[in-house]
Chain A
Amino acid sequence: MTQGIARRFQISTLAAHLVLIGFTLLALAPTLLVIMNSFKPRKEIFGAPLALPSFETITLIGYDTVLKRGDILHYFQNSLIVTVCALFFIILFGAMAAFALSEYRFPGNRLIGLFLVMGIMVPIRLGTVGILKLMVSLGLANTLFALILVYTAQGLPMAVFVMSEFMRQVSDDLKNAARVDGLSEYTILFRLVLPVVRPAIATIAVFTMVPIWNDLWFPLVLAPGESTRTMTLGAQSFIGQFITDWNAVLAALTLAIVPMLILYLMFSRQLIRGITAGAVK
């Protein structure tokens, strides 16, 4: 009887793992393809796109091209500044708004919450023309600040939504104990509530930074200038109307993955620590 259950359990676990492995491969395939092909000469990229680079064919020509163009580091820096600043503002303002919505009862509370949820559903790109006009008249066109503002606006609704749900679960007693001890509402939010909802922050960070880092649209519209070019936009400069340096494009894209991977590892460590801290209590 118990053996039967155990076997059935094994089979279903196996099936689940097969599905998950299949899905992982499917999701990773394009990325792997990019990385593989970035190490191959142009002829091989088109001749055998699915083949691994061999000892004879392996080449760093793409990376050579990319790094020789001195500005690639600058693009990197731009992307990093935009992503990290936007992430910081999203979490800061998102936490403050979420705390207000989850902690205080005031007229219009639900309405504001609903308004923010709508922000999740309506893509910010629909407002591109308006945003561009606004940025130009504010004199912010071709600045990284414009990108940071737009990405902050783009990420806030989801951040507020997720964090206010998490904050609702933080014990009232804990916040009240802090009030009796004379802590200000700011201290309660930043020193008491935020550490408790760390898993939520890690989740938001992971899910908002990738689209920001990879975005091509707003850098192209708002900050296409040489000095403010981001990594993704920079990689496009190897794509010409007539000739495209595929080695360089693939190498640039591969390089662009690295910082995301590092940030992701950082946050996911936090995420796991947050979850286990909650479980052990």
Chain B
Amino acid sequence: MGKLVLEGISKRFGAVEVLKTVDLDVADGEFIVIVGPSGCGKSTLLRIIAGLSDQSTGKVLIGGRDVSSQPPSKRGIAMVFQSYALYPHLTVEGNLTLGLKQARTAASLIAERVAEAVRILALEPFLKRRPGELSGGQRQRVAIGRAIVRHPEVFLFDEPLSNLDAALRNQVRAEIADLHRRLGATMVYVTHDQVEAMTLADRIIVMNGGIVQQIGTPSELYRRPANAFVATFIGSPGMNMVPGTAGGGVLTLAGSGRLPCSAAANGAVTAGIRPNGFEVLPGGNDGLAGTVIASEYLGAESFLRVRLADGTVVTVHEHPDHGWLIDQPVTLRLRPGNLHLFDAESGLRIAEGPDAAAQPAAARVA
């Protein structure tokens, strides 16, 4: 049983509060990704789950057992580190078996576990080599193998792809997704890269400044971000944020135009529109007036940079062969259902209407 529960975990280093009451419920076999900018406390949270660092308050339960006061080796976890952290003086085989030997596992069982890991990760050719004689991708596979042989209830990954180059990163990412499917094990995966988070996760936890911003499936986070931070962090290129004023069902964006919006919004707001939420029309139409200042061609698609009348620059998704010219005046029209409104001060999402307000908030904001 690989259920993981965190109850009111917080952490302070001296006077600095690095984590602020984190509650989490991870189902058996779930792939959870913790994502957030550098320094937001992701690694600290993972180390607390692993038992490598003590929480200031709160409890960690793994498989229904309170492991808060257990050492890492007794928690039923295995961890894969960013820097691989292979034992430099041992061969790959030694690296795989050290933990099991330490736990006085029977030799036959060790051999069985190693054979399984070797088969899953195709490590056979490297068994007798030392970590120094392996490439980055191979080292990370060995590190994952070292986690597999422990048969943990929960796998913990701390930015396992950060030290790999781009091509290898995609490959190992696919291997990790594949591994999760095969083993069906619970995994908690930390990254600062939202693409990794979106592609791997069953559920994502977005963190910022030690505070959980939102927990939800990738599509929940993309479609209904709980606040301005999540809105800009999830999705690539990021959501366009334009300041404006709302009232009586009309949103006025400073100097560039008016849009219909939910009646619930009132006063100073931030309007969030994803690049694909706009339709580009020739200048002079009804919508937001602006000027094309750049175009990025990506082959299958392209992105326009458009400066609105008030100077805000927004990114707009377009066909690859759109034909708009630099300095050409255009009008941006909002596609229906693509406007996110956030309170200008608190950054919290403003509910769209009666039906939206009736839904239980997917968002939890501390």
Residues of A whose CB lies within 8 Å of any CB of B are 171, 173-174, 176-183, 192, 195-196, 280-281
Contact = CB atoms under 8 A, between A and B. Distances in A.
A84 B86 CA distance: 33
A178 B132 contact: no
A178 B82 CA distance: 15
B103 interface: yes
Interface residues of B, number: 25
A179 B79 CA distance: 10
B99 interface: yes
Contacts of B103: 182
B260 interface: no
Given A195-B89, A196-B88, A180 B83 contact: no
20 contacts: A173-B83, A174-B83, A176-B47, A176-B72, A176-B79, A176-B81, A177-B79, A177-B86, A177-B87, A180-B50, A180-B52, A180-B77, A180-B79, A181-B99, A182-B74, A182-B102, A182-B103, A195-B88, A195-B89, A281-B132
Given A174-B85, A281-B132, A182 B99 contact: yes
Interface in B65-109: 71-74, 77-79, 81-89, 98-99, 102-103
Nearest to A178: B87
Contacts of B77: 180
A179 B99 contact: no
Interface of B: 47, 50, 52, 71-74, 77-79, 81-89, 98-99, 102-103, 132, 146
A182 B103 CA distance: 7
B99 A180 contact: yes
Given A177-B87, A180-B50, A181-B73, 12 more contacts: A171-B83, A173-B81, A176-B72, A176-B79, A176-B81, A177-B79, A177-B146, A180-B52, A180-B73, A182-B102, A183-B102, A192-B87
B147 to A, nearest CB: 9
A181 B50 contact: no
A195 B87 CA distance: 11
B60 to A, nearest CB: 14
Nearest to B143: A177
Contacts of A180: 50, 52, 72-73, 77-79, 99
